[in-house]
Amino acid sequence: MHYRVLGACAAALGAFLPVVAAECNRTYLESYANDYISTYENGKIADLKRAENFTYVENNKTTEFSGGIFDKSLVVAWKKTIVDPVECASFVEFITTKDSKGAAAPYVIGSQIRHSPGDLSTYLIDSIVSTTGSWLFNSTKTLEYATQENWTRIDDDKLDSREALKLAADAYLDMWNNKSAVDAVPWGNPCSRLEGSVYTGTSCKVGIPTNNNQAPNSHRRYVIDQAYGSISVLCIFEHLSNAPDSHEFRMENGKLRYIHTITIAKSGFLEVEEPAPVPVAGRRARRGGASSRLLG
């Protein structure tokens, strides 16, 4: 009887509680993401279903969703997709080194895809497209490192919360302008950062900013996938000449395990665009960069 009474109570309460929005269909978002990646190979971009108000943003600028990179008939050598069923979005990261004729066509691309919760129509693709000349760019090397990593699904009993994922990513991206942020990052051991094509090995602390008074990493857009312990953040690295940037984090058991960065800034831009700081003990002086100070 008690159960009955409780049940009736809960039902009555339910009428006044906000309805929890249904999650978006993971299978659909995943298959859409795969179709999207395929358009870079088969050029069938016109076939990709989109909402009437669809917008394509590339490196933080609204632009045409046709031509250019979509006509290159790339060979996708490696790809990875995460899905955010709550936000009805996905994030794909993929790597190419050549096109279908075998000519060099090096790209590392990260795209967030956003769908309407109702009809799942796609209204935004927000891409960071890096190629030769981008920060620490070498897609052959990025491919070598990425293929060695393990971003498989996390066991159901070991899932980290969406909040934990977001706190970790935000703390990391706050390090440039917040001195306390470094202690709020749940550093894993090991943890490996793939910054462009440069691998930090077993520590993600390599080259983190020591100057915490820089311009912030702003305009952050998130895609969070609890099942894969992953969070994608696209943002603007204001301290790096407003560079469009993608950071993706993988968390295992509450600690960061992997970080991937794609940054649209000229490698070595300090030498070109700013007076170089005074060299220290034979090394070129360096300052906080895309994720860090890996490059002089």
How far is C-alpha 52 from the geometric centre of its chain's CA atoms? 26
Find the helix or strand (DSSP H, E) in which 273 lies: helix 269-273
Find the helix or strand (DSSP H, E) in which 39 lies: helix 26-42
Q: Which two tokens stand for residue 284?
A: 């070129």
- 116 phi and psi angles, rounded to 5 deg: -75, 135
Q: Give, in order, the Cα–Cα distances in Å from 235 to each of 39, 153, 201, 202, 247.
A: 25, 26, 25, 25, 8
Q: Give, in order, the Cα–Cα distances in Å from 293 to each of 96, 205, 207, 208, 210.
A: 26, 11, 5, 7, 9
Q: What is the DSSP string of 136-179?
A: T--HHHHHHHHTT---PPPPGGGPPPHHHHHHHHHHHHTTTT-T
| Least Cβ distance, residue 11 to ligand NAG (angstroms) | 25
Let me know how long the chain is: 296
| Least Cβ distance, residue 32 to ligand NAG (angstroms) | 8
**Whether 247 contacts 196, CB under 8 Å:** no
User: Is the Cβ of residue 168 or residue 270 nearer to ligand NAG in the bound state?
Assistant: 168
The closest residue (CB) to ligand NAG is 184
First to last CA, the chain: 73
Q: Which two tokens stand for residue 6?
A: 């409780």
Q: Which two tokens stand for residue 64?
A: 């045409």
User: Is the Cβ of residue 39 or residue 116 nearer to ligand NAG in the bound state?
Assistant: 116
User: Is the Cβ of residue 60 or residue 214 nearer to ligand NAG in the bound state?
Assistant: 60
User: Is the Cβ of residue 55 or residue 203 nearer to ligand NAG in the bound state?
Assistant: 55
Name the amino acid, one letter, at 257. R
| Least Cβ distance, residue 71 to ligand NAG (angstroms) | 24
Residues that bind ligand NAG (CB under 6 A): 25, 27-28, 31, 51, 53, 55, 60, 116, 123-124, 138, 140-141, 150, 152, 171, 174, 178, 180-181, 184, 219, 236, 242, 252
| Least Cβ distance, residue 70 to ligand NAG (angstroms) | 20
User: Is the Cβ of residue 17 or residue 103 nearer to ligand NAG in the bound state?
Assistant: 103
User: Is the Cβ of residue 214 or residue 242 nearer to ligand NAG in the bound state?
Assistant: 242
Rounded Cα gap, residues 44 and 67, in angstroms? 11
Rounded Cα gap, residues 36 and 56, in angstroms? 12
Q: Which two tokens stand for residue 126?
A: 């927000």
| Least Cβ distance, residue 91 to ligand NAG (angstroms) | 17
User: Is the Cβ of residue 103 or residue 280 nearer to ligand NAG in the bound state?
Assistant: 103
| Least Cβ distance, residue 96 to ligand NAG (angstroms) | 14
| Least Cβ distance, residue 45 to ligand NAG (angstroms) | 18
Q: Which residue has the tokens 């794609």?
A: 262
| Least Cβ distance, residue 249 to ligand NAG (angstroms) | 14
User: Is the Cβ of residue 1 or residue 150 nearer to ligand NAG in the bound state?
Assistant: 150
